[in-house]
Amino acid sequence: MKPRTLVELSKLGLGNETVVQLRTLELPIDYREAKRRVTGIWEDHQPQLVVHVGMDTAAKAIILEQSGKNQGYRDADIRGFWPEGGVCLPGSPDVLESGVCMKAVCKRVAVEGVDVIFSRDAGRYVCDYTYYLSLHHGKGCAALIHVPPLSRGLPASLLGRALRVIIQEMLEEVGKPKHKAQFKENSTMVLPAKGN
């Protein structure tokens, strides 16, 4: 995902009572690096909610993903690696669900010029793998938003506004709209744990 969109979201903020701090670091399409960084986010920051934003080059709409899958990772990453046996976390459940009801969020958001849809299949590649890891470490306190590529019809400013509205609704959904938010790893929003 392009940092320009996250910069735009950082400028917009999430409203009067929620502050977004943006820190970007390119997260490569790399299973092992994703696992290391996602684990670090949860261990180091103990956030209440992590929102992952990944690009889906085939998408025509913003897609709110409800669940992450543990198995089926058969496509190699940019380094030619894929998880052994196609499994993210051996011995873990096949599917983990977000504590955020994406269908409810999807029904409530309206962004002029942008379609927002709901999905239960994030695609069995690095985004889904990352999401599953985050759902596992965060006990369901994670979300994944797949976005289409930037274009004339979807500039960074519009996508940034759309993400703002969606994330505000997610915060409403989990009942934590007053906590400070931070961005980590170029595509992940982190809400610090209570008391931080």
pLDDT in tens, 166-189: 988 888 887 744 444 444 444 445
**Secondary structure of residue 91 in the 3-state scheme:** coil
Q: Of the residues 146, 169, 173, 179, which is catalytic?
A: 146
Give the residue-averaged pLDDT of 127-150. 96
Q: What is the pLDDT of residue 119?
A: 97
Alpha-helix runs per DSSP H in the chain: 3-12, 31-45, 102-108, 126-137, 156-174
- Determine which one of 8, 65, 169, 173 is catalytic: 65
Would you state the pLDDT for residue 177?
44
Fold of 3-191: Aminopeptidase (3.40.630)
45 is catalytic: no
Catalytic one of 88, 106, 127, 141: 127
Measured between alpha carbons, how far is 84 from 78 in angstroms, rounded to an integer? Answer: 16
Is 88 designated active site?
A: no
Q: What is the mean pLDDT of the chain?
A: 83
> 22-31, 98-107, 118-127, 152-161: lowest mean pLDDT where?
22-31
* Residue 190, pLDDT above cutoff 70: no
Specify whether 65 is catalytic.
yes
The region, left, alpha or beta by phi > 0 then psi within -120 to 50, assigned to residue 175 is: left
User: For 59-107, how does the pLDDT look when each residue is reduced to its tens digit (9 = 90+)?
Assistant: 999 999 999 999 999 999 999 999 999 999 999 999 999 999 999 999 9
DSSP label at 117? E
- Residues 116-142, mean pLDDT to the nearest whole number: 96
Residue 37's SS3 state is helix
